[in-house]
A and B are shown apart, each in its own frame.
Chain A
Amino acid sequence: MNIMTEKTLEQAVSSQMSAQTNEVIKMRGDKVTVHYGEKQALFDVNLDIRQNQVTALIGPSGCGKSTFLRCLNRMNDTIDSAKVGGKITLDSEDIYDPKIDVVELRARVGMVFQKPNPFPKSIYENVAYGPRIHGLAKNKAEMDRIVESSLQKAAIWNEVKDRLGEPGTGLSGGQQQRLCIARAIAVSPEVILMDEPCSALDPIATAKVEELIDELRQNYTIVIVTHSMQQAARVSQRTAMFHLGYLVEEGATDKMFTNPDDKRTQDYITGRFG
């Protein structure tokens, strides 16, 4: 166990260093367009997602930030009327290429939803489900290990370790959301997409999840959609501002919040619209 954590720590440190010194583009959107039936929801979005960084997508409601997020693991495929154009790459591979299997993609790009949505099963089963369907654990002991480490990484282990058999739906909202994060982590994704993960949580639970996001950054690449400017400022390194389906501006979070190039960003951040 000690060796494991040391190793992951080393990895984390090295990846963080490489992230600081030499930023790696994990995912890239190239002229991404999305139509829902007749209606166009996204117009030529070019956006890079950097490895081991938190990228925040901000913008007023209906601006297309969630739509863009859902393109990154092809969750839009589940909507019959949705049509995605342009190119999105993960490690330089086009994820909309017919050769790419969507199930495998979603194992690499995990997702945490706006409303905590644990399965109505036990806490253990919630976390073990992903590894089980992907065959990540050879035996019970290995599965137990995956479940424990995932719950630990999601900072909820201490709260639930004595009641892993109880239904996940019986937890509080904040705990449920951290359980969902643990569930997403359990399949060892490379990227975690978070769609307003704190909008259904109280401030204390929000603080815990934000803290968690900051820790997760060491091992994962995170894209987060948020309505809270403070949250974007607190947790992200890069911020992308969407408006009416267009990407208005993208850059380092510090710069975006202090000295944005675009007036709309300025107005939105200062609360003049949105």
Chain B
Amino acid sequence: MTDVTMDTVATATPPARRDIGLKRRYAAERRFRLYGVLAILVGLAFLVVMLLSILTKGYTSFWQTTVSLPITFDEKVIDPDNKRATDPNVLITANYPALAQKALAEKLGIDAKNKPMMTRLKGFLSDGSRVQLRDVVVSDPAVIGTTRNVDILVAANLDSAFKGQIDLSVPEDRRKVSDQQVEWMNKLKAEGAMAERFNTGLFTFGASSRPETSGLGVAIIGSFYMMVIVLLLALPIGVAASIYLEEFAKKSRFTDLIEVNINNLAAVPSIVFGLLGLAVFVNFLGMPRSASFVGGLVLTLMTLPTIIIATRAALAAVPPSIRSAALGLGASKMQMVFQHILPLAAPGILTGTIIGLARALGETAPLLLIGMVAFVANYPATPFDPATALPVQIYMWANEAERAFVERMSGAIIILLVFLMAMNITAIVLRRRFERRW
């Protein structure tokens, strides 16, 4: 029986092929892929150009030229009237640059009585030597009367020349360093006294009119204060608002309106937030200008929509089955949210918050308006003291004409980018680590 049926079964012959446009479809797919690759390549190219340009211009700012000089802390210069026991101001106002100058003259074998030579020597060292030496003496007054080696900063132009950034082949009157200075520089270099050292000043100094003594110290502290304020205010407010909107509020026209407005707020240009901060916090509420507290408040306003949107998305992404499970067991809404939904949404909320913070860290415009674009030389002790911020410092240095400031600006950009990258990587790592799958 089976044999018979087997015999009657014929093998199918392939029918004539229909043209279903396969070639065309595959060609379209290949074209689309090509566009994608091209788009990515163009993007990458720009990124590489930008990074390379910043890195090549900025990496030298992490080194600063100094001259190691045996400074004699001469009591006659520092404290000629011997009043330092009663008047501590003496140690602060002493003529320290003279000490450095003297030490340099000795090192170069210049007679101190040779007035014209001594005058030419003046522009060689940075005026920052005043602060450097003062710090040594103030921290240890016993040093007076002894000799100690100190790495004295050189003037910004010589720093540039030492790093080879100044073309020495152009005529002397058209460059900022004289032949005499170059000669001294080469001599000191040959002796090993003049060298590039790691530029800690870039991280610790405040504002200064001299590039070699200006740094990001104040800006880093100001930015840190602001980040803390933004985190402390925007995270709880944003999360609470999102939980209410997403879990508790009944959907109505009013909540729709709020939602639209939050989305709009996220798109409002940051300078508008700056104006708002200026009008409300500074002018109306009389808060201090230039203070990182006000900056933090403005950045909080700016970050809130971002955090709310990210948090709501994270809450909405928790599967409804978890909600049903908790409610079905008799959990109250509050218990459901705080014991089940929020822990599951936490990675998303954290990611959103960190990205919001990173945006706030790089924000400049609103800070300009509330006066954070200021010359602040001293560390702000509290968030209510005048301070600047990292991007604002970059902006200020970008406005300076001197070459050494441009170098510092590039260095500051690198530092800011490193901070931003660190934050974004943290966000990604957190998301990867705590992401749950259902």
Contact = CB atoms under 8 A, between A and B. Distances in A.
A236 interface: no
A103 B332 contact: yes
Contacts of B319: 117
B88 interface: no
B324 A75 contact: yes
Interface in B319-344: 319, 321-332, 335, 339-340, 344
A110 B340 contact: no
Contacts of A183: 325, 329
Contact of A106 (B321, B322, B330): B330
Contact of B322 (A107, A117, A184): A117
Contacts of B437: 169
Contacts of A75: 324, 327-328
Interface string B220-258: 000000000000000000000000000000110000000
B329 A80 contact: no
A117 B322 CA distance: 6
By secondary structure, the B interface counts as: helix
B251 A80 contact: yes
A117 B319 CA distance: 9
A92 interface: no
B436 interface: yes
B331 A103 contact: yes
Given A104-B330, A107-B330, A117 B344 contact: no
Interface in A179-210: 180, 183-184, 187
Most buried by B among A105, A110, A117: A117
Contacts of B332: 103, 133
Interface string A57-79: 00000000000000001010010
A85 interface: no
B325 A180 contact: yes
Contact of A110 (B321, B326, B329, B344): B329
B344 A133 contact: no
Nearest to B344: A120
Interface residues of B, number: 22
Contacts of B250: 80
Nearest to A131: B329
Contacts of A73: 328
Contacts of A106: 327-330
A133 B331 contact: yes
Contact of B328 (A80, A111, A115, A120): A111
B438 interface: yes
Contacts of B322: 117, 119-120
A78 B250 CA distance: 10
A228 B438 CA distance: 26
A267 B150 CA distance: 101
Given A119-B340, A120-B344, A187 B323 contact: no
A109 to B, nearest CB: 9
Contact of B330 (A78, A169, A180, A187): A187
Contacts of B326: 119, 129
Nearest to B328: A111
Given A80-B250, A120-B438, A133-B335, A103 B325 contact: no
Contacts of B251: 80
A196 to B, nearest CB: 13
B329 A117 contact: no
A43 interface: no
A221 B408 CA distance: 77
Contacts of A117: 319, 321-322, 324-325
Interface string B5-27: 00000000000000000000000
Contact of A119 (B325, B327, B330, B335): B325
A113 B325 contact: yes
A134 interface: yes
A251 interface: no
A37 to B, nearest CB: 12
A126 to B, nearest CB: 9
B327 A78 contact: yes
Contact of A113 (B321, B335, B340): B321
A173 interface: no
A119 B325 CA distance: 8
A120 B324 contact: no
A260 interface: no
Interface in A82-123: 103-107, 110-111, 113, 115, 117-120
B319 to A, nearest CB: 8
Contacts of B325: 113, 117-119, 180, 183
A190 to B, nearest CB: 12
Contacts of B331: 103, 129, 133
A113 B438 CA distance: 15
Contact of A130 (B323, B324, B329, B438): B329
B327 A130 contact: no
Per CB-CB distance, the 8 closest pairs between chain A and chain B, nearest first, are A117-B321, A107-B330, A111-B328, A106-B330, A130-B329, A117-B325, A103-B330, A120-B436
Given A75-B327, A187-B329, 18 more contacts: A78-B327, A80-B251, A110-B328, A110-B330, A111-B328, A113-B328, A117-B322, A119-B322, A119-B325, A119-B340, A129-B326, A133-B329, A133-B330, A133-B332, A133-B339, A169-B437, A183-B325, A187-B330
7 contacts: A78-B327, A106-B327, A117-B321, A129-B326, A169-B438, A184-B329, A187-B329
